[in-house]
Every structure is written in structure tokens, then in C-alpha cells.
Amino acid sequence: MAEACVGGSFLSAFLQVLFDRMASPQVWGFFKGQKLDDGLLKDLKGTMRSVNKLLNDAEEKQIADSEVKDWLDDLKDAVYEADDFFDEIAYEAMRLEVEAGFRTSTDQGASFLSSFSPFNKVKEKMVAKLEEISRTLERLLKRNGVLGLKEVSGQKESTQKLPTTSLTEDSFFYGREDDQETIVKLLLSPDANGKTVGAIPIVGMGGVGKTTLSQFVLNDSRVQKAFDLKAWVCVSVDFDVHKLTKDILMEVGSQNCDAKTLNGLHQELEGKLKGKKVLLVLDDVWSSDQSRWDFLLKPFKSVAAGSKLIVTTRNENIVPAMHRAIPRNQNKESSPSPISIHRLMGLTEDFCWILFKEHAFNGEDPREHPDLQGISRQIASKCKGLPLAAKTLGRLLCFERNAEKWEEILESHIWESPNDEIIPALQLSYYYLPPHLKRCFAFCSIYPKDYRFLKEDLVRLWLAEGLVQPKGCKEIVKLGEEYFDDLLSRSLFQRSRCNESVFVMHDLINDLAKVVSGEFSFTLVGNYSSKISGRVRHLSYATTDYDALDKFEGIDKAQVLRTFLPFSHRRSSRVDSKVQYDLLPTFMRLRVLSLAPYQNVVQLHDSIGRLKHLRYLDLTATPLKKLPEFVCSFYNLQTLLLDSCMCLVELPNSIGNLKNLLFLILHWTAIQSLPESIVNLSNLHTLVLSECKNLTELPANMGKLTKLERLTDFFVGKQSGSGIEDLGKLQNLQGELRIWNLQNVLPSQDGETAKLLDKQRLKELELRWAGDTEDSQHERRVLEKLKPHKDVKRLSIIGFGGTRFPDWVGSSSFPKIVFLKLKGCKYCTSLPPLGQLVSLKELRIEAFDLIDVVCPELFGNGESKIRILGFEDMKEWREWNSDGVAFPLLQLLQIRRCPELRGALPGHLPALKELCIDRCPLLMASLPRAPTIRQMELFDTSRSVQLTKYQSGMLSLMVQKFYSQNSPLQGIEHIGVSTTLDKIEVHCCDSLMLFQPKSFPNLEILHIWDSPHLESLVDLNTSSLSVSSLHIQSLSFPNLSELCVGHCSKLKSLPQGGFDTLPLLQN
């Protein structure tokens, strides 16, 4: 991106797509075959080029000039029409290619034109359409003079904005105290990462308060005292090194820099900075140009250690360039550690409200305006934590006390007015995007507010809409992912706070996308479909329990619709059958169609087969039993989503016709086999077969799918289907892979043909055998050759029939493994030593029938880094010998169904938070000393298990099925006074006799079920007890004579039915 320039018009990228289409063999074949004057095509290109030169000027002027905006909308509509026209030609050529058996490009053109005889009405109609498109573009071009548009070649100079200063002109600074303190501490801390200058990037979306925060940090008294020189420079879009160097010099005391060359400025600046502890703030940085960064920071090589650089930016992509440019401390030889980015999030709703009211009420008490107070909170809530939005909306309403006006503002899109401050702040994030990103961003207007989406889902939609075009040899899916990452780094997308793999658009950014999309995108809310424009290309809506046909009334006029996309937060919905039978087939230009998750779509109607331009078909969670054969005539189809179609048992035999198919998702279907033609999907990128319980074999020759990058499951065939050698031909696999039925690898083969060692991008690998082994030595040889690449992070070996593991399992050659699961290896007599897996954090050992002792060698001597450890279904395991092994980081320990285990567990687990012991009837031990434990579950443990004071920090305790009168459950009272324990559940414990809740003053939930020998439940009569839930069921206490419950303010009810099960209860 050229930082000093506008990224380019939205439509310029669209026009480039058309230029590429017009140069394709299919289009030229059509013109040649029809004996048409190619001058018509040349004239159209010329007109488009002339229009293209006006776009940058028009895109800027449309903000304030509605006539220019209308002109751009007319042009966009015409370009869509042209795109549809050339897509029609491309589709017909593709159809003939499939039906005629892959002719050459020239033959394609000849075959295509043969379908158009000189008297063919279809041909005449298409020629007339092309002429109409040309006339429309020429007419728009002639309006240039009236609108005053200027031709601009290349990029256009940016609109200047007011520079920022280090003065905190906004005295209202709320909710940022923690952020300020964090950054101040970083500034004052010594740097240990090998740099002379420590860097602190503050990254966040436009308007979140990065500039204000950095101003307060710079003016902090501690910071003022800590640095010899401090400089604040507003960089903005134009990363002019000469100008920035002058600005820095002026900040540190130079008087006259205007006449000096850049070299002279650098020499002067280096002299000023030499030996000084410097703090430089570069505000609003956009450039990631490495050469510019290197040149700017050259003079800083002589500053004193402890100098710091603060950079505020919306574009996280600048950080690597900045990091590389920062001068290194020559005394440090080690590589510098990565820079820690401070991501600035939005204000809380309360702080945003405080900020808004300070501006909106101009210091007045909001209670003096009761008719405005409620509305104002709603407006502040709409700001979603953006200080800039709160300030702008507040100032907009500052001198307005009319409640109706406030209501109007509440319901309006304030940024649609060019006079609103929020518009430039957010629109800059859009207008400085490259053209291809503008189209991708604008498409996101289809998302409802606060909708959470996945990266791969959005990329698939972009591809379907033609928003990502091939560049050189770069793979198109990868290109789409890069576009997504670029928008994410510019803070136009945000990671969900609860799940880093899920993304969301801030409401203000979402509205910005809707503004730039205009009438071409429509989100149906309620029953307002009558407001839809005939130009709408993209339609989205929220599903209800039942979507009747009248919900879509008026949508039928949008005959040029490309996207029909429901969004649902429901598990199931139903739709009027007429929507599928009558409405959808009228949208002949649809590229994206979703019927997910309608539960009454049991089949696709034949009329859907008319939608030949479909590129994306989502039938997720519908009850389809099979796909109709006509789906295989959707030759443009790229994405077919059948996730959770649990009734789906088969795919059409001709699915191999879908030469453009990239994504086929069959997760959780009832598919029993895949058609043989699937190996003809030469462009297939993703095939998801996870949880297909009925699938046991893949067609032969799966190795032909050489472009496949994601294959979740591979089934090794026995006498038919794909063999292990086919897996070896899939060289580009990445992500996760499960290999099933490894017992079918023939004795004449071994695992080496899978070539797992070469698959560097595979991060999760699961190796599975099924059934009983006939040759344990052969299985060991197979596993020996299935050694994965050293970069694998998660490894599972399940059902292995050998007696011991090959040496690579657990070797130091796997430095990145964080998860290891060994399960069902019932003939193994020993466990592999795993102490050399330096990154291992989670270990699962399950169903080893012959293991009776777990030795220290499993973990290696010294301190283990394991955080999660689980043992399950170990029939013969008797002893855990942990001598010489420490578990300082272990947080979760689970031991389930180990009937012979006895003796001691590791004695000291200082980091343990959760402990589960389930059905280990012979285990007789004191539980580990675990001062940090928070949750403990003891199930079906019939020997004595002693709780101690080391469990006093628990939050939750569950004891279930503890039988044995001779060895009673000891120690609940031995925990001592626990101020943290808030939940105790005791189920089916016939050995429990005494329970004293007084030791647990913060207990909130107490469940006691089926404990017939409980004699005393004492001292509930305490004002400090905070029990809010008390369940006493099936107790039948024959000896319980007194139950005291008093001063429990949170206790809402006693057991239903009273105390009928307590026959001796007197008090």
C-alpha cells in the first residue's frame, strides 16, 4: 500500500475483474465463433478504462455530493450487469467442457458458439445485452462534465486531517487507569530483550482512545521524571521521513531545521540524542515500509539504554517492520524477544456513559432532564465503548434538549452525515484500504450487528462473490486468508473476547460497512422487505421459528440478487416451502444460497437446479437424505456445506463434475461411502469427514487430489479403496489429520509411503488401529515409519497392537508437542519415556491392559512441565512410583476406572486446581498437598481417602458413592475452616456420619443425597453461613434427632415434603 495515498476506488478492483474476464479464452471464443466484430469488445474496454480514471475523484467527492454518489451507484450497477453477462459466457463454456470431455480452449470456443446458430435467439439476446451495457457505460462517461470529475492516474493524494498533539485536550479520561498504569510500568522497567530502545505498540480500532491514552502516559509525572528527552510526533498516513525527522528535532529543542538536508537532520538529531534516555511517541502510524522505518530510527542508535518508543496504530502489520528497525544493543548477542503488543479495548458501558454525559449535558446534572436520561443511556450503550463515538454523539446533542430529537439520533446512522466527526475517523479506515480490501470489507455489511463469524466462513463467501482473484501462482484460498488477516490487523475485525478463533465487527464498523455498501446490500429486519431496492445484490436476514413467505414480500423485485443468506441463533427453524419452490428460483444470478438450518428442507426442489451460477451452497443441519443429481451441474460451485446433515447417506455419483469445488464439508453426516468420481475434484482444498461414523473406506486413487490442504480423516482400505500410499501423494495437507484402519496396511507395505515426515504443516495427528492385531511386529514396523514431522503439536496413538513403542515416540526430536494421547494399546508392556518432550503440557494414558506400574521414567527425572494429566481404564495398574519426579505445574489430575490402583499419589502438587478420582476402589491414601486446589471430585471410592488442611482453598467438593462402614469417609471436618468452599455435594455415601457446615462460612450450595448413616448435621445455626441451596433427599436418617437451620439469610426453602424421611427428628 502507498501510505500517502488513497488506496484506490472500490470499483477499480471490480473493473479489473472484468478486464480479466474479457481477456479469457471463453469470451474471445464466443466473439470469434459468432463472427462478431471484436471492435465492440475493444470499445467496451476503452470506455471502462476511461471510467476507471474518474473513480478516485468520484469516490472522494461522493461524501459531500449526492449526485456523484448516485453516479457511482449507477456505475456499480452497470458493472454488476457486465459481470453477470461475462459470467454467463464462462458458465456455458464450462458446461460444454464437462459435457464434451475437456476440449482445448479453441475447441471450447468453437463448441460454445455452435450452440448459438445464426438464428439462435439466445445469441441475439446476449449480443443485445452487451450492446446495452456498452451504451450504459458510455452514457455515464458523458455525465463526467456535468459532475466535474477529473481523471486521476494512479493513486490520489490523501485528505489531510488535523494533527494530534501531546496535550490532553480532552480532560475527560475514564476507564483507562489500568491501561495507563500497565504502559507506565513498561516504560519504567529495564529492557532485557536485546534492544537499545524498548518498543510499546498500542494497537486498536479507530476511535478507541489510543492517542488520548498515550497523551496521558507521556504527561504522567513518573514518566516526565524518568526520561531526559521526550518527543511527540503525529505521523498519520504520510510517512515522510524528512518531515518526521524535523518534527522530532523540534520536539527535542532544535530551533531551525527547514533548510537542512535529510543527512544534516540525521546528524543533528543523533547529536541531540546521544547518551540521553529518550521517549518517542509516534502517533497514528500506518506504514509498514521497512526502508522508511530503518531510515527514521537510524539516529536512535546512540541513545541511552532504557529509551522507549510508543507507537499508536490501527494496523498491527506495522509492528514487525518497526521491531526490525529498532537499534540493537551491541552488547547483546542473543536474538531479541518478540514485542508485546498492548491491545486497547473499548470502555466499559458505565465509563462510556460517564464520558457521553459529560459532553451531552455539558456539565449539567442529567437528572434535571428526566425525559432525556433514559435515552442518553441507550445512546451511550450504542457507542459500544468507543470514546470517539461517545464524544462525537455527546457533542452533537450538547445544545439539544428536545427528546424527540434525541430519539431520532438514537435511531439514525449518525455517520451518514458528512458533518459528523465520527465519519472521518472511521471512514479513514475504509478509504485507505487497497481496492480489493474495500470490496471485501463492504461485503461484510451482510452481517447483523454483533454477529460472530469464523475466518474460514467469511473467506468462502468472498471467494463465492468473486472478491478474491488469483494473483500469480498464489493459491486463492491463501490469498483470501491474507485479506482477512489484513482487515483484522487494521482493527476492522476484532477477536471475540470469549474465543480467539471467533471474530466480530464493532457496531460502528458494521455500520460503516453498510454505509459504503449502500443500496446494494440489505439486511432484512422484521417485516421491512418492502423497502428493498431493485439493485440489491446481497440479502441477509435473521431466521425465526417459522419464516413465512410474506416475510419476503417485495424481495422478488430484486431479480439481480447474488446472495441469500439467513443467520440463525436458533437450533432449528422452518421455512415456507414456497420460498424454495417459488421465490428462490426467480433469482437466477444467485451465487450464495443458504438454507441452514431449516428443519423442513428434506429435499431440494428441482427448480433450484436453475440456479446455475451458484458458487456457495449451505445446507448445514437440514434433514436431507440425499442430494439431487442436478447439484452436479452447478459447475461454478466452490463451497458445499453439509455439516450436521445427520440423515444424509449418499452424495450424487457425478459430484466429480464440480471442477471448481474447493470446500466439501461432510462433518457429522450418515454418509456410508463417497462416490468414485470424487477423485476428479482436481481443485478441492478442504474435505471434512469428521464424525462420519458410518464411513469406513475412501474411494481408490484419493492421491489424485493433489491440491487438498485439509483432510480431517483418511481411511486405509483393505482390499479396495485408497491405500496408505495415496496419503503420501497428498503433499500439501495441513491442520488436523486422523488416519483410520492402520491394521489394513499390508505386510508388504509400511507406513513410510504415507510420507508423514514430509508434511510440515500437519499440526494434529491421530493414528488409529481397529480390532485385534494378528502381527504385533508388523504393527510396530508400521508405526515406526509413521513418524510425523518435528513440528507436530498434538499426537494421538490409539489401538496400536505392538508390544512396545518405537523409539521416536517421546524422543527429543519433537520439541513442539503439547498434547499426547496413548490409548487402547492393550499389548504394550511398557510406556515410552516422555521426559524429552520439552513442550508437553497435556498427557492422556488410557486403556493399557498390561501396565501395572507407572515408573518415573515416563515423565523423566526432575521437574515435569505437564499441566494436565489423565489415566483412564488401566485394568492392571497397581502402583504409581513418582520418586524423583516433581509436578510443579500440574493443574488437573484425573484418575478414572483404575480398579487395582492402591498406595500413594504424588505427595506435593503445588499448582493443582482440579482433582478427580473415579472408581478406584482400592486407592487408600491421603490426597496430595495442594494449596491451590479449587475443585475436587471423588467418585465410587470405597477405601479411606483422607482430606487435609492442604485442601482448604477449594471452591467445590463432590463425593459420590463412597461405601464402607468399616472405613468411613474421613476428613471433611479436617479441612479446617475454609473461607473459599462454596459448594459441597455428597451423593450415595453410606459411610458419612458427621457433617459440620460451620467450617465453611461461605458455603452456598449443600447437596446431600442417599447417605443413610449420617447421624449429625450440626451447627447450621450461624449467622455467617451463606447457604442459598440445601437439598436433603433420600436420606432416611433413622437416628437423626436434631437439625438446626437458622440465620441463613440466603436459604430460600427447605426440602420439599418437609422431613418425612426423618422419623426421630424432634427439633
Sequential DSSP letters for 321-378: HHHHHSPBPTT--SPPPPPPPEE--PPPHHHHHHHHHHHHTTTS-GGG-HHHHHHHHH
Residue 585 has pLDDT above 80, yes or no: yes
State the Cα–Cα distance between residues 195 and 335, nearest whole angstrom.
9
The least confident of 25-34, 52-61, 149-158, 206-215 is 149-158
- Above 90 in pLDDT, residue 1020? no
Rounded to two decimals, the pTM is 0.77
Secondary structure (H, E, C), 865-920 = CCCEEEEECCCCCCEECCCCEECCCCCEEEEECCCCCCCCCCCECCCCCEEEEECC
CATH class of 433-524: mainly alpha
List phi, psi (to 5°) of 574: -130, 155
| Of 257 and 592, the one with more pLDDT | 592
Q: Is 718 helix (H, G, I), strand (E, B) or coil?
A: coil
145: Cβ contacts below 8 Å, ≥ 6 apart: none
**Do residues 207 and 423 lie in contact, with contact meaning Cβ atoms separated by under 8 Å?**
no
Beta bridge partners of 768: 798
pLDDT at 144: 86
pLDDT of residue 423: 44
Question: Which pLDDT does position 746 carry in this prediction?
Answer: 87
pLDDT at position 240 over 60? yes
Own/partner pairs, 254-261, CB within 8 angstroms, 24+ separation: none
Q: Do domains 433-524 and 525-695 have the same CATH topology?
A: no
More confident position, 129 or 418: 129
Pairing of strands 1005-1009, 885-886: unpaired
**What is the average pLDDT across 980-995?**
70
pLDDT per position as a tens digit, 162-171: 444 444 445 5
Predicted local confidence at residue 304, as pLDDT: 87
Asked if pLDDT for residue 1036 goes beyond 60, the answer is no
**Of 511, 491, 319, 503, whose CA–CA distance to 416 is shortest?**
511
Q: Which pLDDT tens digit goes with each residue over 820-833?
A: 999 999 999 999 99
Q: How confident is the model at residue 993 (pLDDT cuts 50, 70, 90)?
A: low
Q: What's the rounded mean pLDDT across residues 89-105?
A: 74
The conformational region for residue 1058 under phi > 0 = left, psi -120 to 50 = alpha, else beta, is left
* 1004 in Cβ contact with 1026 (< 8 Å): yes
Cβ atoms of 401 and 369 closer than 8 Å: yes
Q: Which residues pair with 747 in a beta bridge?
A: none
Of 700-704, 936-940, 990-994, the range with the highest mean pLDDT is 700-704
Above 50 in pLDDT, residue 69?
yes
The full set of domain ranges for the chain reads: 10-147, 177-343, 349-423, 433-524, 525-695, 945-1046
Q: Which of 104-118, 451-465, 716-730, 947-961 has the lowest mean pLDDT?
A: 104-118
Identify the weakest region by mean pLDDT among 212-221, 290-299, 365-374, 1019-1028. Answer: 1019-1028
Residue 195: its pLDDT value, please?
60
Q: What is the mean pLDDT of residues 744-755?
A: 87
Pick from 550-554, 897-901, 1055-1059: least confident: 1055-1059
- On average, the pLDDT of the chain sits at 83
pLDDT band at 873 (very low <50, low <70, confident <90, very high): very high
* pLDDT for 994: 57
What pLDDT digit, counting tens, does each position of 260-289 carry? 788 888 888 988 888 889 999 998 898 899
The three-class DSSP label of residue 1007 is strand
pLDDT at 6: 34
Inter-residue contact 793 to 818 (CB < 8 Å): yes
Mean pLDDT of 239-264: 82
Q: What is the pLDDT of residues 446-490, one digit of tens each?
A: 998 878 899 999 999 999 999 999 887 789 999 999 999 988 877
Q: What is the pLDDT of residues 33-67, one digit of tens each?
A: 666 667 778 888 999 999 999 998 888 778 778 89
Residue 554 — pLDDT band, cuts 50, 70, 90? Answer: confident
pLDDT at 161: 41
Give Cα 278 to chain centroid, integer Å. Answer: 39
CA distance 105 to 786: 43
Q: What is the mean pLDDT of residues 384-393?
A: 78
| pLDDT of 143 over the 50 cut | yes
> Which residue, among 93, 80, 78, 83, has the nearest Cα to 18 in the 3D structure?
83
| pLDDT at res. 1060 | 61
CA distances from 683 to 328, 653, 659, 902, 912 (A): 46, 18, 7, 57, 49
pLDDT at position 158 is: 36
Q: Using the predicted structure, report yes or no on whether residue 419 has a pLDDT greater than 50.
A: no
Which secondary structure element, helix H or strand E, spans residue 637, and what is its range? none
| Chain centroid, CA 271 distance in Å | 48
CATH architecture for residues 177-343: 3-Layer(aba) Sandwich (3.40)
Q: Percent of the chain at pLDDT above 70?
A: 79
Closest CA to 867 of 905, 914, 908: 914
**pLDDT score, position 699:** 97
Per CATH, domain 525-695 is 3.40.50.720 = no
